[in-house]
Amino acid sequence: MTHTNVVRSNRALFFPFDAGSPRHDLFEHISGLGPLRRRDFEEHSVAGEIIFRVETDYTPTSREDEEARIGTLAYALKKLGDAEMAAEFIRHLNAICEEGDARSRQTTAGYYYKRINEVGALTALIEMGELAQALSALNAQTETTDEEESEADVSDDSSEGEEPHRHSAFEIELASICRMARRSHASQFQHDDLAAYLDGLEESGASVEELDTAFTWHDHLDQYDENGAILMMSSTERTVSCGSVDDELTEDDLPFEAAHLAAQIRKDFASGVEIGTIWDEIEAQLGILFPTTSRKVKRDEETGGETTVTVRSQANAEWRALSRRILEQVMAECQADFHLRGLRHNREYRKLHRALRITHDTRQVSEIMKGAFALRTSGMLPLNLFTALVTAAKLQRARLERLPLSKTALRLIREINVASERKLRFLKWAMYGENKKDHPIHTLAAQEQARIWQALKAR
């Protein structure tokens, strides 16, 4: 007999219960997941608070990835059409961009492909060869052995005819470092636009908060692209960010007395009530539900007098703090929700969406969407909110079409199923348009009328 774990949030899904045995805890967690949750658990991973999945056999399609191909031999073969010219192009490109970064290689290759289109492949290759030769001359190395360099260092320190003096360990180490410094290349692609931007911010007298925000953005840019993807080292593999882990506490952790406050926050937020007013009302209700102080009358047995003392409840204070923390997260979820933000900040969207949800006739759905299109044309309804209304209209249509038929519709369908040919001709005439206005079909909703007409066509 298998059991299924109760997964209230994605944190409970991706973090198995820790009972002290990692392998047993993992197997116990997997065995209790359903097929869909187990697939999510196995296909996704968690890095800190970010949920991601690895996509293999990934073919680059973005503009940045297309630019990364420009410095490959396959791209050169496709562009030049000649194997020898392509090999010569890549050889010169490697010599020019030696020790340069990928961005510099892309820029250089793009420039010379443009030169090939302007002056021809042969002339462009000659220019590349001349530049590569000039750069190699700047980085020319003299092949010498360590013994020769040591003798040269010693001869520099001692005059002719004088007996060379013994070098200390510090002088020997310094000479070794100088030899390694002489072997380094002089020309490199060291310019970094992001570093220059950060340096410019610091020189212009930016505040500490602005610098912190810039550095945070710079750190995030090293890991994520604009689409939320974490690009890996392999060109055929990437990891895609799929969201973040939920907070450890969820709405289900609210005390029973305060469970209704989460729905109240969502309702007030969508209705446009100011945030300060919402929290004032929440604090007032929490104070009533979990009073932290109370007055108690204490009787003195010796004197018979009564005194009033103030008693503080630590348990209620903890319940109140817990409820406040969970409700703050509910508010953060509301502020991050696209639909709730639209309801809060756009009155027309709120009216149209409410009208869609309370209607019971697909014909009214069409009329509401005509009004939404008119508002979209006049500019009072943004495109993203209009798209959300279109989706809501489709869902409402599907919801109404799945509703059970009314008694009147069922009676008409039974009448159609047992009717003769003559009666069917009469029903077809009576139900069409306004031929017979008092016919019961004209009192039904549009989705029920469609079902009745389908039954009539089937006969």
Q: What is the pLDDT along the chain (459 residues), one digit of tens a residue?
A: 445 556 677 888 888 888 888 888 888 888 888 888 888 888 888 877 788 887 765 555 454 555 556 777 778 888 888 888 888 888 888 888 876 767 777 888 888 888 888 888 888 888 888 888 887 776 555 444 445 545 545 444 444 445 555 666 677 777 776 666 554 444 444 445 566 666 677 677 777 777 777 766 655 454 444 344 444 445 556 677 777 787 778 888 888 889 999 999 999 999 889 999 999 999 999 989 988 887 777 777 777 677 777 777 888 889 999 999 999 989 988 988 889 999 999 999 999 999 999 999 999 999 999 999 999 888 888 888 899 999 999 999 999 989 898 898 899 888 888 888 888 888 888 888 878 888 888 888 889 888 888 888 888
Contact 439, 400 (CB under 8 A): no
In the chain, the amino acid numbered 368 is I
Distance CA 421, CA 232 (A): 71
Residue 396 exposure: Cα atoms within 13 Å on the Cβ side: 23
Q: Which of 87, 109, 138 is the last residue of a domain?
A: 138
**Do residues 278 and 324 share a domain?**
yes
**Contact residues for 270 (Cβ-Cβ < 8 A; gap 6+):** 334, 340, 343, 344, 350
Residue 169 lies in a domain: no
Expressed as residue numbers, the domain containing 87 is 63-138
Query: Which residues are registered as beta bridge partners of 47?
Result: 50
Contact 189, 93 (CB under 8 A): no
Distance CA 176, CA 437 (A): 106
**Do residues 390 and 426 share a domain?**
no
Residue 228 lies in a domain: no
Residue 269 lies in a domain: yes
Q: Provide DSSP, 312-328.
A: E-HHHHHHHHHHHHHHH
**Smallest Cα–Cα separation from 248: which of 52, 6, 8, 5?**
8
Query: Which residues are registered as beta bridge partners of 243?
Result: 51
**Do residues 426 and 380 share a domain?**
no
**Do residues 267 and 332 share a domain?**
yes
In the chain, the amino acid numbered 221 is L
Distance CA 320, CA 27 (A): 37
**Smallest Cα–Cα separation from 453: which of 435, 440, 441, 439?**
441
Element (H, E) at 394: helix 383-401
Domain count, the chain: 5
CA angle 43/227/221 to nearest 5° reads: 105
Q: According to DSSP H, which parts of 5-72 are helical?
A: 10-14, 22-31, 35-43, 63-68
Residue 256 lies in a domain: yes
Residue carrying structure tokens 């945030």: 275
Residue 225 lies in a domain: no
Element (H, E) at 398: helix 383-401
Residue 227 lies in a domain: no
Contact 131, 115 (CB under 8 A): no
**Smallest Cα–Cα separation from 68: which of 194, 221, 234, 241?**
234
On the 0-12 / 13-18 / 19+ scale of CB atoms within 10 A, 51 is buried
Query: Which residues are registered as beta bridge partners of 203?
Result: none
Indicate the pTM of the whole model.
Answer: 0.50
**Do residues 278 and 356 share a domain?**
no
Residue 442 lies in a domain: yes
**What is the phi/psi pair of residue 55, to 5°?**
-105, 115
**Do residues 100 and 130 share a domain?**
yes
Contact 345, 280 (CB under 8 A): no
Give one word for 371, left, alpha or beta, with left for phi > 0 and alpha for psi -120 to 50: alpha
**Contact residues for 440 (Cβ-Cβ < 8 A; gap 6+):** 408, 411, 412
**Smallest Cα–Cα separation from 362: which of 385, 393, 389?**
393
Residue 307 lies in a domain: yes
Q: Which of 321, 340, 359 is the last residue of a domain?
A: 340
